Structure 1
Amino acid sequence: MTAGLTVAGTADRAAELAPGFGRLANMVEPGRLEYVDYPLPEPGPGALLVRVLRANVCGSDLHTWRGKHPVKKSGGLGHEMLGEVLAIGAGRPTDNRGEPLVVGARVAYTYFQTCRRCAQCLRGQLNLCDNAYEHFGKQPDEAPHFHAAFGTHCVVQPDQHVYVVPEALPDVSAAGANCGLSQVLFGIDQVGIAYGETVLVQGAGGLGLSAIAVAKERGAARVVVVDGVDARLEQATRFGADAVIRLQDHDGIEALTEAVRAAFGGAQPDVAIEVAGVPAAFADGLQLVRRGGRYLVMGNLSPGTTVPYDPGLITRKALTVRHVDRYDGRYLWQALRFLTDHRDRYPFDTLVDAEFPFERIEEALVASAERRVTRAAIVMG
């Protein structure tokens, strides 16, 4: 981490563990954590036991922490992480691209599985696997206990994608590959960005910054970012945004539309990408993209949040609106390659601007929810 906040811990909780035990943070209820210890399991056939090196606080973790997840109201938290292989179950000699798995290897892995048996998988929609969260959604008291990222260890199940991390890629960059960047790469492939097209990104969090980089590498002629947090807009500029728009400087959709037109030289963008997670952003995006344009929606996930919009506008503008949930697990390798190939061009190593020790996870969640940090990381030591 080149700059930012490091929060010192008062004690190394991992060092207090009895031999053969691991520790995890359990959300007893939204907004309240407790630490619990369990014996480390032997990985079953095709599974891995990994020691978690780093885990980031993602926007969807905050949704769960605030009680806005449609199902998950308790249990382990965290899903954006990097690990080191401690033990390998029988029948798993390689990762998902054929690279040998060995004890001590750094690995990135999907937080969900692809069962390849459900109706969605059999249709080829692997990102929509009906059994994706079979293990991730379990409670910590259910063996093998270590199902999520906010823990000293994690068990990676046979149907989760696992990839050995390229040696040249630092931990701080690799830890974010399995969520934001993989999601953006997959999502953008669903709507396409042709060489010379223009792109509007709504939201400059981790997803939005990744979207800038991917859009640029796909050949976008101009990328403009809208957000309401100055620090995020500054980061967007460092990631290559051609212009940024401070949301609160424009009162209402008409003023925002004019600002967007001005940023694109009098036109509206060919593609808009919603990664703000704010319902109003969706209605705005329908107005901001050009007639015949494409709109990729990935940020709005929380159930029960609604916003009024004119469905006829979509027809009159002949828009293509694509909502994307999760990603095909194979895109995790693409994300690792993207980070490795472009590590000198885009400052992914600066996305994390605050590091917290394992015993200060709740503080990391609160600081992230209050937007005092752009992206927090839990460093296991």
Structure 2
Amino acid sequence: MSLQDTSTSEETTEMGELVYIDGPKDLEFREYPVPSPEPHAVVTEVVRTNVCGSELHVWRGDHPLSDCVLGHEAICRVSDLGEKVTTDSAGQPISEGDLVAPVYFQTCQHCEFCRRGEFYRCENDYEHAGKSPEIWPHFHAPWGTHYYIYPNQHFYKLPEELLETPSLAAAANCALSQVKFGLDRTGIDYNDTVVVQGAGGLGLNATAYANERGAETIVIEGVDQRIERAQEFGADHVIDFREHESADARADKVHALTDGVGADVAVEVAGVPEAFNEGIELLRTGGRYLEMGNVRPGHTIDFDPGKLVRKSIDVTTAVEYDPWVLYESLEFLANTKDEYPYEKLLDAEYDLVDVEEALERSEQRDLTRATLVPHSH
């Protein structure tokens, strides 16, 4: 039986709500029966779910997703375990009532890339997340009261140290896991100098992780609140692009901070195509560049590949991560929760019914990250 053919006998009489999008800025609330889980699946109640830059892209219409449920960053409470589920994806015993962080994409285990062990490149990663809510089990993404964790999705129980402050882990399944995976792939090392282009959620997590790896961090930003956050997250230096208005001026400042050499690693998390050109200028010869912020095809710039080659720059990209990185990220948060003000990454809380206001304020960039709390909680 396909999921589409699943009958209402696999749904409870309880109803849940979700946020549906069917085109640019075309949101509506829809109500569906809460499903009962397949043997290897889990049904959860959403405790909180965030507004990430990806949702803004979908909302504005410059992302391929549509006719779907919104959301991907979330902390959920297990409400119904499939009969075959006894542990989370790390082998930790799991029970109804436990708080969990789900990996928002699947690793199908059978495509060419999963076969190669490149799970972060699974070609069926969004098979579930991109479905219409009309397809059972309806709650394919977490902007709603419930979220269905499919059998081929990884999920992890929150460490004990985070149970009293679960909001700290709300972005672990995107921002923190993403930058951790990407920076590890660059070969970040003790005493490296790391430039972070942008101090939104990804940039601040990147700053914290680079600090903990023993790097010297330089953050480039131009919004007062974000500059303040970067300093609170341990940035050794902040370059305000309102004071250093040109790319050349910012490159000069980075070189001045690195004894004229340039940075070992640069991370683009501003989401601005022009930042890629600039990033090459910030790096030393033989430097490593992590491109993460520009995820939307079709936004082009003039680029001189000769500069890249002559400086022997290694470029790494990352749009997802190996699913077990989420477990490592939760442990990282548990171990560093007293070192960094992670709670300030979520600086605005909205009831789910006020989702449009949360999107509008997020688009204006007058907050770092909004979190949505279903009114049932």
- Specify if TM > 0.5: yes
Which residue of structure 1 aligns with residue 140 of structure 2? 147
Measured after TM superposition, the shift of residue 168 of structure 1 is 1.8
Say yes or no: does 1:90 pair with 2:83: yes
The aligned runs of 1:182-221 (5 Å cut-off) are 182-220=177-215
Which residue of structure 1 aligns with residue 257 of structure 2? 263
Which residue of structure 2 aligns with residue 314 of structure 1? 308
Say yes or no: does 1:77 pair with 2:75: no
Say yes or no: does 1:234 pair with 2:231: no
Query: Larger relative contact order (C-alpha < 8 A, sep ≥ 6)?
Result: 1
Between the aligned partners of 2:33 and 2:66, the Cα distance in structure 1 is 24
Counterpart amino acid of 1:198? T
1:229-252 superposed Cα distances (whole Å, 9 cap, x missing partner):
121111000000011111132232
Measured after TM superposition, the shift of residue 228 of structure 1 is 2.1
Between the aligned partners of 1:253 and 1:79, the Cα distance in structure 2 is 34
Which residue of structure 1 aligns with residue 175 of structure 2? 180
Between the aligned partners of 2:361 and 2:261, the Cα distance in structure 1 is 38
Look up the SS of the partner of 1:115 in the other structure.
Answer: coil
Look up the SS of the partner of 1:293 in the other structure.
Answer: strand
Say yes or no: does 1:122 pair with 2:107: no
Measured after TM superposition, the shift of residue 265 of structure 1 is 4.2
Contact map agreement 1:182 1:327 (CA 8 A) in 2 = yes
Which residue of structure 1 aligns with residue 268 of structure 2? 274
Aligned counterpart in structure 2 of residue 113 of structure 1, from 106, 109, 116: 106
The aligned runs of 1:1-381 (5 Å cut-off) are 20-69=14-63, 71-169=64-162, 170-220=165-215, 222-380=216-374, 381=377
Q: TM-score, normalised by structure 1?
A: 0.93
Contact map agreement 1:183 1:327 (CA 8 A) in 2 = yes
Counterpart amino acid of 1:295? Y
**Percent identity for Structure 1 against Structure 2:** 48
Structure 1 stretch displaced more, 47-56 or 261-270: 261-270
Look up the SS of the partner of 1:291 in the other structure.
Answer: strand
Say how many residue pairs are matched: 362
Counterpart amino acid of 1:358? L
Between the aligned partners of 1:251 and 1:51, the Cα distance in structure 2 is 46
Look up the SS of the partner of 1:290 in the other structure.
Answer: strand
Between the aligned partners of 1:155 and 1:73, the Cα distance in structure 2 is 19
Contact map agreement 2:68 2:129 (CA 8 A) in 1 = no
Counterpart amino acid of 1:27? I
Measured after TM superposition, the shift of residue 73 of structure 1 is 2.5
1:268-310 superposed Cα distances (whole Å, 9 cap, x missing partner):
1111011111101111101111111000111110110011110
Q: TM-score, normalised by structure 2?
A: 0.94
Measured after TM superposition, the shift of residue 144 of structure 1 is 0.5
Look up the SS of the partner of 2:290 in the other structure.
Answer: strand
Which residue of structure 1 aligns with residue 5 of structure 2? none
Counterpart amino acid of 1:185? K
Contact map agreement 1:30 1:74 (CA 8 A) in 2 = no
Contact map agreement 2:69 2:140 (CA 8 A) in 1 = yes
Between the aligned partners of 1:127 and 1:45, the Cα distance in structure 2 is 25
Contact map agreement 1:193 1:219 (CA 8 A) in 2 = no
The gaps in structure 1 that reach 5 residues or longer are 1-17
Contact map agreement 2:111 2:123 (CA 8 A) in 1 = yes
1:342-369 superposed Cα distances (whole Å, 9 cap, x missing partner):
0000111111110000100111011001
Measured after TM superposition, the shift of residue 267 of structure 1 is 3.2
Look up the SS of the partner of 2:160 in the other structure.
Answer: coil
Between the aligned partners of 2:354 and 2:261, the Cα distance in structure 1 is 47
Which residue of structure 2 aligns with residue 15 of structure 1? none
Measured after TM superposition, the shift of residue 56 of structure 1 is 0.8
Contact map agreement 2:255 2:261 (CA 8 A) in 1 = yes
